């Protein structure tokens, strides 16, 4: 068990990390750009520069942690609901997106700023550094859903294409994010509708279809001719 001194140190570390993170976000939103340097930023906080590097190696590391935190908070919320484990895979993904958007709502100004940097810096969505940790966690989660879906036969494991399902889910998540950023309806009602339609479409494509039935029938007929 941790002694009182260790607990105090851990709390102090958490407090300092949170202070740096919150001050960084405030600076971005108030000035529209990153601090000129870590030195100037920490001087503003009346802390030594070295304290910053105890927790982060750059400003971009803070961005990564913030976005990874959005994923962690979303997953924690949905998994804390006892009914989540009873959901079908399609329902689990819907729950993730709806909850994720709720998490993002509380941080919309920062999220809008981050996404805005993609255009400003001429970046593509495929190489955005601030989403790297978030993406890794989401792809892992997506793989778990896909594996579960194959077991429950909600998802068909098709040759070649089946290995690309998770890439499709990532592109779907980016679509949801972009749609929400541009949604100007009250309560982001159109985003809720877009999520439902996007998820239903993706599962319709990944589930057994008339094309699969036709292929199986053609295969059956072909084998019968041998």
Domain match, 104 and 202 both: yes
Any residues with CB less than 8 A from the CB of 3 and at least 6 apart, and which?
none
| 226 lies in some domain | no
Q: Which of 62-76, 175-189, 208-222 has the lowest mean pLDDT?
A: 208-222
What is the structure's pLDDT at 192? 95
pTM for this entry = 0.86
The domain in which residue 28 lies consists of: 1-57
Domain match, 140 and 91 both: yes
The predicted model gives 177-186 an average pLDDT of: 95
Any residues with CB less than 8 A from the CB of 16 and at least 6 apart, and which?
47, 51, 54, 55
Check which CATH number belongs to the domain holding 201 and give it.
1.10.357
Per-residue pLDDT tens digits for 32-57: 999 999 999 999 999 999 999 999 99
Question: Rounded to an integer, what distance in angstroms lies between the CA atom of residue 16 and that of residue 51?
Answer: 8
The average confidence (pLDDT) of the chain is: 89
Domain match, 105 and 196 both: yes
Domain match, 86 and 13 both: no
| 222 lies in some domain | no
Question: Rounded to an integer, what distance in angstroms lies between the CA atom of residue 59 and that of residue 21?
Answer: 9
Per-residue pLDDT tens digits for 147-164: 999 999 999 988 777 789
Alpha helices in the chain (DSSP H): 4-31, 38-44, 49-53, 59-79, 89-105, 108-120, 132-151, 165-182, 189-206, 210-224
| 127 lies in some domain | yes
What is the structure's pLDDT at 222? 58
């Amino acid at each position: 068990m941790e002694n009182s001194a260790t607990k105090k140190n851990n709390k102090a570390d958490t407090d300092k990390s949170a202070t740096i993170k919150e001050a960084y976000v405030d600076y971005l939103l108030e000035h529209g750009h990153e601090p000129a340097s870590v030195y100037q930023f920490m001087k503003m906080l009346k802390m030594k520069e070295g304290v910053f590097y105890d927790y982060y190696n750059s400003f971009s590391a803070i961005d990564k942690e913030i976005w990874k935190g959005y994923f962690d908070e979303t997953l924690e919320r949905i998994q804390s609901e006892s009914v989540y484990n009873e959901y079908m895979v399609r329902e689990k993904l819907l729950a993730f997106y709806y909850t994720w958007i709720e998490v993002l709502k509380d941080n919309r100004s920062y999220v809008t700023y981050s996404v805005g940097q993609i255009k400003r810096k001429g970046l593509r969505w495929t190489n955005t550094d601030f989403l790297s940790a978030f993406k890794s966690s989401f792809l892992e989660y997506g793989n778990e859903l896909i594996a579960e879906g194959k077991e429950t036969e909600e998802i068909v494991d098709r040759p070649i294409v089946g290995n690309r399902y998770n890439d499709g889910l990532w592109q779907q998540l980016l679509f949801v994010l972009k749609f929400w950023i541009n949604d100007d309806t009250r309560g982001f009602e159109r985003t809720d509708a877009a999520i439902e339609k996007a998820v239903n479409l993706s599962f319709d494509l990944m589930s057994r279809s008339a094309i699969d039935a036709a292929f199986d029938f053609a295969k059956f007929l072909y084998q019968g001719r041998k």
